[in-house]
């Protein structure tokens, strides 16, 4: 595994601990994969890390802030410490809208 792949997996682990979000599916058929790729919702490039999520609750800004805060310690001692983290909400679960009036 590469450092970027390991980092994507660590970010996926952090995402799992943040209430209100789940990874956005990027592959519709993963049966051909030898093992699940939890970090597939994370793209790591020079100067930018994009994390795609599905929101399971609202409002969105606090969710994005919580996820960014959860990822910050993971990036702290890496080559990506000063990289911009962009949270992309690809979908909102319908149950998140239940409390919206």
The correct CATH number of 3-25+41-93 out of 3.40.50, 1.10.287, 3.30.160, 3.30.70 is 3.30.70
The pLDDT score that the predictor gives to residue 17 is: 94
pLDDT in tens, the chain (101 residues): 578 888 998 999 999 999 999 998 776 565 655 555 666 889 999 899 999 999 999 999 999 999 999 999 999 999 999 999 999 999 999 999 887 76
Taking the domains of the chain in order of start, what are their residue ranges?
3-25+41-93
Q: Which H or E run includes 83?
A: none
Q: 22 - beta bridge partners? A: 54
The pLDDT score that the predictor gives to residue 37 is: 60
Strand ranges for 1-101 from DSSP E: 21-23, 42-45, 48-55, 84-92
The pLDDT score that the predictor gives to residue 99 is: 73
The pLDDT score that the predictor gives to residue 64 is: 96
């Amino acid at each position: 595994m590469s450092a970027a792949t390991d980092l994507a997996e660590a970010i996926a682990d952090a995402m799992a601990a943040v209430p209100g979000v789940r990874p956005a599916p990027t592959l519709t058929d993963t049966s051909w994969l030898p093992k699940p790729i939890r970090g597939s919702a994370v793209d790591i490039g020079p100067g930018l890390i994009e994390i795609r999520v599905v929101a399971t609750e609202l409002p969105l800004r606090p969710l994005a802030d919580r996820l960014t805060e959860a990822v910050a310690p993971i990036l702290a001692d890496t080559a990506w410490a000063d990289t911009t983290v962009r949270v992309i909400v690809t979908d909102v679960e319908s149950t998140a809208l239940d409390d919206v009036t």
